[in-house]
Amino acid sequence: MLLKILENKDQFQPGLSIDCVIFGFHNNQLKVLLNKTQYSDQWALPGGFVPVDEDLDQAAVSILYGRTGVKGIFLRQFATFGKVKRNQSDFSQKVVQFYGLTPEAAQWYLNRFVTVGYYALVDFSQTVPQPEGNKEVVEWIDHSAVPELILDHREILDTALATLRTELNLMPVGYNLLPEKFTIPELQKLYETILGRQLDRRNFLRKITAIGILIKLDEKKSNVAHKAPNLYRFDKERYEEVVKNGLTQGW
């Protein structure tokens, strides 16, 4: 795929790439969608180049689909990374050798690439990578077990997670990540998994109900022996309002 791009490099924005950080949640686990590169044993964020005739945001969607088979995900841009030496690495040299690139192609590829980061949070059990005609391995990897990544991809991943954690203070999460009916402890586990720390049960209950996005159902969780917890669902209309207008009433 890279060779095809290099043969048509005039069709791509020079020195610009996109990297996607796709977080997956399911059953209290936080995972990250990664590619195992063909060129080395290292893992990488799914990324690629920007066609000259495609809007940047649209290119992110196309790249994610092309590298992983995953589509229909709403990607948010979060930061652009542009250190002078960010893609000067052993990895880049391996790629040049792997393909036996011409000096001209190697030059294009080894120039500094400024990369625009996009992230998303999805239910990984619903989001199955299906790479087509591609020998790349694509996998959901536990966030706590992410191995060494190529280039500055670890920094990009960490920045995305920091952004997601900040977003928790600005908007609710949970819709499409939890079953339609869920308990408050299940919702709290989602927040704890993203934040990577325990939360106080009472404080969480107070804050989450204050947002006004939960509807208490006249049902309790079944298959629970003792003190079955109440089930809730999201008030979709109110939820979307809060996503749009922000969580804090602000000033």
Which member of 3, 128, 137, 170 binds its own copies (CB under 8 A)? 170
Closest distance to its own copies from the beta carbon of 63 (Å)? 13
The residue within the footprint of its own copies, chosen from 1, 5, 195, 242 (CB under 8 A), is: 195
156 is an interface residue for its own copies by CB under 8 A: no
Question: Taken in order 215, 217, 220, 223, is the CA torsion positive or negative?
Answer: negative
Q: Which stretch binds its own copies (CB under 8 A): 13-21, 38-46, 90-98, 226-234?
A: 13-21
Q: Would you count residue 50 as binding its own copies (CB under 8 A)? A: yes
Query: Judged by CB under 8 A, which stretch of 28-36, 106-114, 142-150, 214-222 contacts its own copies?
Result: 106-114
Q: Which stretch binds its own copies (CB under 8 A): 33-41, 108-116, 212-220, 233-241?
A: 108-116
- Out of 8, 80, 130, 176, which residue is the one contacting its own copies (CB under 8 A)? 80
Strand 12-26 to 47-51 pairing: antiparallel
Q: Which of residues 197-226 bind its own copies (CB under 8 A)?
A: 199, 203-204, 207
Q: Which is nearer to its own copies, 97 or 209 (CB)?
A: 209
Binding of residue 142 to its own copies (CB under 8 A): no
Applying CB under 8 A, which of residues 8, 107, 111, 245 lies at the interface with its own copies?
Answer: 111
Which of 7, 8, 11, 56 lies at the binding interface for its own copies (CB under 8 A)? 56
**How many chain residues are in contact with its own copies, going by CB under 8 A?**
37
DSSP secondary structure, the chain, as one string: -HHHHHHTGGGEEEEEEEEEEEEEEETTEEEEEEEEPSSSS-EE--EEEEETTS-HHHHHHHHHHHHH---S---EEEEEE--TTTT-SHHHHHHHHHHT--HHHHHHHHS--EEEEEEEEEETTT------S---EEEEEEGGG---BSTTHHHHHHHHHHHHHHHTTTS---TTTS-SSB-HHHHHHHHHHHHTS---HHHHHHHHHHHT-EEEEEEE-SS-SSSPPEEEEE-HHHHHHHHHH-SS---
How far apart (Å, rounded) are the C-alpha atoms in residues 115 and 101? 22
Of 9 and 36, the one with the shorter C-beta distance to its own copies is: 9
Residue 190 tokens, joined:
């989602």
- Summarize as ranges the residues that interact with its own copies (CB under 8 A): 13-16, 50, 52-57, 59, 77, 79-84, 111-112, 114, 116, 166, 168-170, 191, 195, 199, 203-204, 207, 246, 248, 250-251
